[in-house]
Amino acid sequence: MTLQIKEQRSLKAFNTFAVEQRARLFAEAHSDAEVREALALATQRGLPLLVLGGGSNLLLTRDVEALVLRMASSGKRILTERDGSVLLEAEAGEPWHPFVLWTLQQGLMGLENLSLIPGTVGAAPIQNIGAYGVEIKDTLAGITALDCETGELRDFTPQECAFAYRDSVFKHLPGRYVILRVRFLLQRQAPLHLEYGPIRQRLAEQGIEVPTAQDVSRAVCAIRSEKLPDPCVLGNAGSFFKNPLVPQALVDRLRSQYPGLVVYPQAGDQVKLAAGWLIEQAGWKGFREGDAGVHGLQALVLVNHGHATGEQLLRLARRIQADIASRFEVELEIEPNVI
């Protein structure tokens, strides 16, 4: 066995909330073979297998009675290129933002709006990460995963991933698949996504009239750095709540009372509301109780000011959910996985 197993390992360094909890068993997988070893060992010990990427979409409220496997595989490569379309592949353990920067260095377009999102390549499709009008589903070409029930490798097409807003088939089958590699189809030349006002404004401030993909990436990094706390400085998991989808009739009622309601029109009779706006209107922005709090610049982000437990953060989230439901008749859904 090449897998290095540690018992009762602290997970504080492996979740961006920096919550102190322990794993019954812990290992890092650098290859497909080590993933299989971990799965076999978990089965032998009668433990579930919990796969970690960057720990940036996770809230730990207790010690984890599982074999926690951190994906540490590395590697990225261009597979084919034809008529300016480039198919490339990255291992699941590759950090997401450095991977995005690498694609830009190769002269490829498509992922620039997803710059500076924490996490790993393998974790990104699970919640269909998105930002500034772009989601991972827009460029994803395929996924290779290990089926933990059969032990076989399976290649998923984008359609089989069943992507939706912060959702995929993998979220609905927790523990069934371990994503090993992800493929993307990027372009040498493609339209830039500049629909979101902050990007256009930032480029205009810099006097950039004909932006490149690199310009967009730098603008996105600057905007995110100003609005979102660095997990290395202040523990957090980014946006803690999803932007809720609600019926148009509810939006009409809310607008009569809240003319400044922030909405994002969707297809059909559904409208997406800005969860951060609702939380801020309810007075939670900057709230702090002990070391559990709401960020002072972005109400959508819960933060650990130092020694908050996962239970304390979850209790705060539940209070916010109840308040928003009472005030606006809107149910907020927690985005991170809660253990």
Coil, strand, or helix at residue 73? coil
Coil, strand, or helix at residue 88? strand
Residues classed as catalytic: 166, 239, 335
Q: Which helix (H) or strand (E) holds 278?
A: helix 275-281
Burial letters 238-256, b for 16+ CB under 10 A, else e:
bbbbbbbebeeeebeebee
52, β-bridge pairs:
70
In order of 131, 146, 200, the CA distances from 117 in angstroms are: 9, 25, 19
Q: Nearest to residue 246, comparing CAs of 333, 133, 179, 181?
A: 333
CA angle 40, 59, 287 (to 5 degrees): 175
Integer Cα distance of 91 and 147 in angstroms: 17
